[in-house]
Chain A
Amino acid sequence: MKNNLRDLREERGWTQADLALQLEVSRQTINALEAGRYDPSLPLAFKIARLFGRRIEDIFTDAT
Chain B
Amino acid sequence: MSQTKLSPPDAAMRRFLIVQFGVLGAFAVVMIAVEAVIPTVKTPWQRWLLAAGPAALLLVWAWEFFRVIRAQDEMMQTIHLRVVATAACLVLLGASLWGIPERLLNAPELPASLLLPIFAFVYGAAWAMTGGRR
Q: Is B3's CB under 8 angstroms from A29's CB?
A: no
B1 touches A24 (CB 8 A): no
Are B1 and A14 neighbours in the complex by a CB distance under 8 Å? yes
Q: Which of B8-16, B55-63, B90-98 contacts A (4 or more CB under 8 A)?
A: B8-16
What residue in chain B is nearest A25 (Cβ atoms)? Answer: B73
**Are A12's CB and B73's CB within 8 A?**
no
> Considering the chains assembled together, what is the distance between the CA atoms of A44 and B9 in angstroms?
14
Chain A interface residue count: which class? 20 to 34
Q: How far is the CB of B130 from chain A (nearest CB, A)?
A: 11
Q: Are B3 and A44 in contact (CB under 8 A)?
A: no
Do A13 and B75 contact each other (CB < 8 Å), given the known contacts A20-B10, A21-B6, A25-B9? no
- Give 11 new A-B contacts, CB below 8 A, not counting A25-B73, A26-B72, A29-B74: A13-B2, A24-B73, A25-B7, A25-B9, A25-B76, A27-B10, A28-B76, A29-B76, A32-B134, A38-B75, A44-B74
20 A-B pairs with CB atoms under 8 Å apart are: A12-B1, A14-B2, A17-B6, A17-B7, A17-B10, A18-B1, A20-B7, A20-B9, A21-B7, A24-B8, A24-B73, A25-B9, A25-B74, A26-B9, A26-B72, A26-B73, A26-B75, A28-B76, A29-B74, A44-B74
Query: Which residues on B are within 8 Å of A, measured CB to CB?
Result: 1-3, 5-10, 13, 72-76, 131, 134
